[in-house]
Structure 1
Amino acid sequence: MAATEMSLMDEPDRLRVALTPIRRRLLARLREPASAVQLAAELGLPRQRVNYHVKALEQAGLIEMVEERPRRGFTERVMRATANAFLVDPGVLTSDGETAGAAGTAGATGAAQEDGETARVDDGFRRIADRYAAEHLVEVAAGTVREVTRMAAAADRRGVRLLTFTLETEVRFDAPDDVHRFTDELAEAVARVAARFDTPGGRSYRLVAGGHPTPRQGAEDDR
């Protein structure tokens, strides 16, 4: 069976296994099958040391054996990475495993229990603020990475294609207020098109649209 195209790393222990420099090098090299003997020769490292790291990667499910070759006095195990790319779930890097957005939602839910109408108004204002918050864009993008990677890996295992689409463009705004007007008009246009194509009982798709300043060439701190 071929390696999956992408694998989501959403377990802290599994991520720690892969983060050391030598193990990152091994994972990159093992996109193509190789044995510990080959890896040691290519990296200029003792075979025992390579074997130690290979075993740790295998136990974490990051690499797998694809072939055994009899050699003089021992059996050589040929290994390969279980995915061509490993993507880190940003949620793994938070201290409590929860995102700020989830905490905000929980807070809004609690308020709704006390005063439903006030909570709905407050939630509306919160969504408006979120629309222009960089943190919210990062949170939504992280969720997209998490969900699409998992579904793509599952589709890959079943031998089917995950149908997705991506829309990209650039627009130049003259003033900050133009961003707000553009966003409002875009939201209305998307709602109209979505209403035209929405079919009860159909396959549900999530559409995420975000905008951020285009990074300047060579700018390390782009404000």
Structure 2
Amino acid sequence: MIDDPAAAGVSLDPVRARLLAVLAEPGSATTLAAQVGLSRQKVNYHLRALERHGLVELVEERRKGNVTERIVRATAASYVISPAALASVAPDPGRAPDQLSARWLLALAARLVREVGELLTRSAKARQRLATFAVDGEIRFASAADRAAFAEELGASVNHLVAKYHDEKAAGGRPHRLIVALHPSLTRAADEPAPDPAQGPTAPTEE
């Protein structure tokens, strides 16, 4: 989880994002240069920037004659930029809550990323497993009326479960965050390639 604005900026550079992907396995500037098509000097420059922000770490140093080869790797298998990296402009779910607002849904999702990212960091330091649960699925509605009826029934079911299991006075109880979301699936034309994360975002269409 990247929550430092400077580190976020470094990771979003297309060349550095590609290096991070390659560095899932340890490598040196020399081996990386051949993989990404850059000079060793340019690769070294980018690696130093990534290392300064904790995105790359030194694995070992190998002596070859008068040259010391540094072997590095990415500090994680994957990265997510936390909304905390843009704290001053991050969406606030406490502002104008509206169950039918896409912007409010986005604010909730941003809070989810931020909070779960922080919990993952804490659990890793404590060497404890983080207890979470998620459901991901897709449903095709025959009509807008069916979608509205589904949302109403889903809301009632969730409220029933919350009322059944919520215990405000439970000794030793721990609060949990619950988010239920419904939004249109993204669709792409059959000949449209999936976006390359290293090349920046594209403009998807909605179903």
Cα distance change, pair 21–65 in 1 and its aligned pair in 2 (3 A): same
Q: Which residue of 2 aligns with 1:173?
A: 141
Q: CA deviation digits over 1:36-85, x for unaligned, max 9?
A: 22222333322221111111111111111121222211322211111111
Q: Which residue of 2 aligns with 1:80?
A: 73
The structural deviation recorded for 1:192 is 1.9
Q: Percentage identity across aligned positions?
A: 39
| Higher relative helix content | 1
C-alpha distance in 2 between matches for 1:59 and 1:71: 25
Q: What is the number of equivalent residue pairs in this alignment?
A: 191
Q: What one-letter code is carried by the residue in structure 2 that aligns with 1:133?
A: S
Unpaired runs of at least 5, structure 2? 191-203
SS in structure 1 of the partner of residue 206 of structure 2: coil
Q: CA deviation digits over 1:106-129, x for unaligned, max 9?
A: xxxxxxxxxxxxxxxxxxxx54xx
Q: What one-letter code is carried by the residue in structure 1 that aligns with 2:155?
A: A
Q: Which residue of 2 aligns with 1:48?
A: 41
- For the pair 1:213 / 2:194, whether they are aligned, the reply is no
The structural deviation recorded for 1:91 is 5.6
SS in structure 2 of the partner of residue 84 of structure 1: coil
Matches within 5 A, 1:68-107: 68-90=61-83, 92=85, 96-99=88-91, 101-102=93-94, 104=95
Matches within 5 A, 1:2-13: 8-13=1-6
The structural deviation recorded for 1:135 is 1.2
SS in structure 1 of the partner of residue 130 of structure 2: coil
Q: 1:37 aligns with which of 17, 26, 30?
A: 30
Matches within 5 A, 1:120-131: 127=97, 130-131=98-99
SS in structure 2 of the partner of residue 79 of structure 1: strand
Query: Contact 1:91–1:97 (CA<8 Å) still a contact in 2?
Result: no
C-alpha distance in 2 between matches for 1:65 and 1:165: 35
- For the pair 1:153 / 2:149, whether they are aligned, the reply is no
Query: Contact 2:83–2:113 (CA<8 Å) still a contact in 1?
Result: no
- CA root-mean-square deviation: 2.4
Cα distance change, pair 51–214 in 1 and its aligned pair in 2 (3 A): closer
Q: Which residue of 1 aligns with 2:194?
A: none
Q: Which residue of 2 aligns with 1:116?
A: none
Q: Which residue of 2 aligns with 1:184?
A: 152
SS in structure 1 of the partner of residue 138 of structure 2: coil
